[in-house]
Amino acid sequence: MRDFYINFSFHIFILFSSSRLPIDEDDIPFIFEDLHRGRSIVPPHDVNRPTLVRWDPRLPLSLENCVVFGSKEAEKHVRECWDVAGLPKQNVTPEKVWGEEVVIVVERRKQEAVRLKNWIL
């Protein structure tokens, strides 16, 4: 009997000025597999190249502020929400870029992240 292994290729857009990240390598599979169930936050939720991105550029990177996109969605998110200097764009929010349906998914995942973090700690 053969063993099959799934190799996830993660791309992480980190727009963060510190040399130390507030999430570590153990958090990445937790964010992707447990919180986001291996799916993008954007309907139809299929993801061929999962990419972790800070949801709200005005907030620091955290379990609650990190979402899964497909690579093209992640590029759009970064292009729309950050300026060329890596700072949050004025008058542009992820909510405006992605709409209510995606915001509902993100809010559920944030609540779940807080609940799981409190349960673990």
What's the CA gap between 2 and 19, in Å, rounded?
41
Element (H, E) at 95: helix 94-98
Question: For the chain, what is the mean pLDDT?
Answer: 82
Q: Region 98-116: what's the mean pLDDT?
A: 93
pTM: 0.78
Tokens 């292009």, residue?
79
Query: Which candidate, 101, 102, 82, 84, places its Cα nearest to that of 92?
Result: 82
The band of 18, judged by pLDDT with boundaries at 50, 70 and 90, is: low
pLDDT tens column, 34-87 = 888 989 999 888 888 899 999 999 999 888 999 999 989 999 999 999 988 888
Q: What is the DSSP string of 19-62?
A: SS-SS-TTHHHIIIIIISTT--SSTT---SS-EEEES-TTS---
Above pLDDT 90, what percent of the chain?
42
